Amino acid sequence: MPSYLLDLQCDGAGFHGTQIQASERTVQSVLFAALHQLDPAASAPRMASRLDQGVSARALPASCRLQRVWDPNILGLALNQHLPNDLVVTRVAVVADDFDCLGIPCTKHYSYIVRERAVQPVLDRHCWWIRELAQRDCLAALATHIPGRKDLSAFACLRHDGRDDHDPVRDYLSAAWSSSTDLDGLRHDFTISGRGFLYKQIRGLVGAMIHIALGRAHPDDFTAAIAAGRQIVRLGNTAPPEGLCLMRVEFDNPPPWEPILVRKPPTTNPPNDRPPVQR
């Protein structure tokens, strides 16, 4: 059975996370249903990242196996005919039969949006709305403490299964805040990249930093939490899922992605059989 890698874009508001759950609408279950429409023998897709309920993705890879051979562009177009408006395939790659996107080494890039304004941003729900941050200038400095190979389990949640006992150390490659002004107020963007993250960890980091920016804790409490790990009482609350988005997943060995096109360009120039124009 040939294997394919799909890159998905989804609005997390209507999904109960990514993984298949009984009686819940998830990205994996909706994608599996669409694949089954094209090929009843299709395998259940494997997701490259496990997203929580309400978290969106600009580029979420998913691997699958099908009975027949598909042109990547045709497969993407066909799947999009069976997918709902809040989930779409943006590109497809043909991969090796044993490809499993969940176990392939990769770097994940996330963003989190905080909007600081007087009134609720009703036209943009993909953010955490906060009326005022008394100490917003401290955010950039707090983010500098994150990168490195560290145990940041103080900001993660327990799964209450066997994975809570695994090594919590991860490689965090970058983390930064940037702020901009628009007509309605301030927008604060947090970006973070790493080789893996713990359960609800990014939302925990954002929640802790915003807690300090609200003036409810001191910046030293953030570095103390990093040093203490899970032994410390949680700093602030876990940020809501609406502001978090998986921006992209970069595999160490990039697959041969093909973007979805309405009409693929010809691979060679067609012969010019027309007679020359007489002038």
Average pLDDT taken over every residue of the chain: 91
Confidence of residue 267 (pLDDT cuts 50, 70, 90): low
For residue range 137-191, list pLDDT tens digits in order: 999 999 999 999 999 999 999 876 767 668 899 999 999 999 999 877 899 999 9
For residue range 195-215, list pLDDT tens digits in order: 999 999 999 999 999 999 999
Q: Residues near 72 by Cβ (< 8 Å), separated by ≥ 6?
A: 4, 91, 92, 93, 94, 258
Confidence of residue 279 (pLDDT cuts 50, 70, 90): very low
Instruction: Give the pLDDT score at 175.
Output: 98
pTM: 0.90
Amino acid in the structure at residue 98 = D
Identify the CA nearest to 55 among candidates 33, 86, 89: 86
Portion of the chain with pLDDT greater than 90, in percent: 79
Domains of the chain and CATH, by start:
3-104 (3.30.70.580), 106-246 (3.30.70.660)
Beta bridge partners of 47: 62
Instruction: Give the pLDDT score at 162.
Output: 67
CB 54 within 8 A of CB 241: yes
Whole-angstrom distance, CA of residue 21 vs CA of residue 18:
9
Whole-angstrom distance, CA of residue 92 vs CA of residue 9:
12
Confidence of residue 230 (pLDDT cuts 50, 70, 90): confident
Whole-angstrom distance, CA of residue 208 vs CA of residue 196:
19
